[in-house]
Amino acid sequence: MRDVAVLGVGLHPFGKFEDKSVTQLCREATEAALGDAGLAWTDVQAISAASSRFSGGKGWGLNGNDVVDDMGRTGIPVFNLSAGCAAGGNAFNIGWTLVASGLHDCVLVVGGEKMPKGFIQTSGVDEETDLEYLRQLCVGMPGPAFWAALCRRRMEDFGTTDEDLARIAVKAHQLSAHNPNARFRNEFTLEEVLASPMVSDPLHLYEICPVSDGAAAAVLCSAEMARKHTTKPVWVASSAVATAGFDDGCPNGLGTVVPPADRTLHSEASVAVSRALESAGVAPGELDLVELQDNTVFYELAFPEDWGLCQPGEAERLVEKGETLPTGRLPINPSGGFLSFGEATTAMGVFQVCELAWQLRGEAGARQVPGARLGLGQTLGLGGNGTAVVLKT
């Protein structure tokens, strides 16, 4: 397998854009990534696109074909990937594989989404064979209620407090105030987070990510091509994809919603991260920063412990001491994360690649992690899909 570089990245600011189609969002992200790479549209040899049922365009999850029609038909192959919130990470993995295998020298990875209003509904149809639909209908547990149950379990296990949860939201918005692409750039106090509307006890409104419109793109290329265009490339150390295991703590979205002590919750995420770190030859403690999927504040506590970045029950104290800020020993989501951007589902894995690239190039401004050279991105999506990527300089 060949070395692969992230030569250019581009991000459309997140928000709600009634006057723009998802294809327009993707065009702006694509043009930004190509401009960042110093390449033209005709240099792109293939597209790996994250797609979903929300996106619009042709429908059927053909986001990559919509991009080709909009940018100009050049006959290149298009790969449309669907994996829920992990679609962007899946698309990146395929793009990386196309270049690493030697099949193509320059691949565009793109994801864009226009989300319906309200909390994400995981089922589009009333289909009794759809386990996600059954979870909501029979158990009465949409996303916020599920996350609330996880928080309650953590409170029981580790003594997590309402203030511990709220500090994560405070930190996220403290960082997003310095990110021009974030949807929510206003800072909150601890008291303001705790005073925001209760959605599902103990989770308040500011402790759950909203849904947004947004798009992200990355240009991947061979080492030979990268060295012709930059003297400081960002390299893909590894990219991994996984699905949930049979013994996961929340099998198929049904059964128990909190895992017994000997089971892993969201095994798809843990397996993907483990594979990515092993493939990159990196120990958890060597990472300079992490961009993880924080649909809610709970995940910023649980995931670092699951992946060996800190000890079980330690995450709350790290947040309280400022260790997860860019200047701390374990910077987590210096972008402001999903809490500050809102989730544009299929774009999120590519959004993380953009932030990691800017951090590793030293271009993140006031949210910069000093001396960052090694970063991890992670997503998980509907269907038990998980992805992870390690970038390095």
Domains along the sequence of the chain with CATH = 4-117+213-234 (3.40.47.10), 131-208+236-392 (3.40.47.10)
Tens-digit pLDDT profile for residues 345-356: 999 999 999 999
Phi and psi (nearest 5°) for 46?
-165, 160
Kindly tell me if the per-residue pLDDT of 264 is higher than 90.
no
Kindly tell me if the per-residue pLDDT of 235 is higher than 80.
yes
- Give the mean model confidence (pLDDT) for residues 357-362: 98
Instruction: Identify which has the larger pLDDT, 121 or 271.
Output: 271
Instruction: Identify which has the larger pLDDT, 24 or 261.
Output: 24
Instruction: Return the pLDDT at 122.
Output: 53
pLDDT band for position 246 (50/70/90)?
Answer: confident
Kindly tell me if the per-residue pLDDT of 269 is higher than 60.
yes
Instruction: Return the pLDDT at 166.
Output: 98
* First-last CA distance in the chain: 18
Strand pairing category for 213-222 and 198-200 = unpaired
Instruction: Return the pLDDT at 247.
Output: 73
Q: Which region among 116-120, 226-230, 350-354 has the lowest average model confidence (pLDDT)?
A: 116-120
Name the residue among 329, 341, 338 with its Cα closest to residue 379.
338
H-helix segments, the chain: 22-37, 63-71, 87-100, 131-134, 143-158, 162-176, 190-195, 223-229, 267-280, 298-306, 315-320, 337-341, 348-360
Tens-digit pLDDT profile for residues 274-305: 999 999 999 999 999 999 999 999 999 999 99
Name the residue among 209, 161, 200, 155 with its Cα closest to residue 182.
209
Q: At 11, list the tokens.
A: 């991000």
> What does pLDDT average to over the chain?
91
Kindly tell me if the per-residue pLDDT of 110 is higher than 50.
yes
Kindly tell me if the per-residue pLDDT of 32 is higher than 50.
yes
Phi and psi (nearest 5°) for 287?
-65, 140
Residue % of the chain over a pLDDT of 90 = 79
Instruction: Identify which has the larger pLDDT, 382 or 43.
Output: 43
Q: At 231, list the tokens.
A: 């003297």
Q: What's the CA gap between 381 and 393, in Å, rounded? A: 28
- Give the mean model confidence (pLDDT) for residues 151-180: 96
Tens-digit pLDDT profile for residues 120-163: 655 555 667 666 666 667 666 778 888 998 999 899 999 999 99
pLDDT band for position 42 (50/70/90)?
Answer: very high
Residue % of the chain over a pLDDT of 70 = 89
Name the residue among 280, 302, 267 with its Cα closest to residue 376.
280
pLDDT band for position 259 (50/70/90)?
Answer: low
Cis peptide before 202 (omega within 30 of 0): yes
Name the residue among 375, 293, 275, 374 with its Cα closest to residue 339.
293
Q: What's the CA gap between 116 and 127, in Å, rounded? A: 20
Q: What's the CA gap between 213 and 209, in Å, rounded? A: 13
Question: Where on the phi/psi map is residue 311: left (φ > 0), alpha (ψ -120 to 50), or beta?
Answer: beta
Kindly tell me if the per-residue pLDDT of 213 is higher than 60.
yes
Q: Which region among 42-46, 154-158, 387-391 has the lowest average model confidence (pLDDT)?
A: 154-158
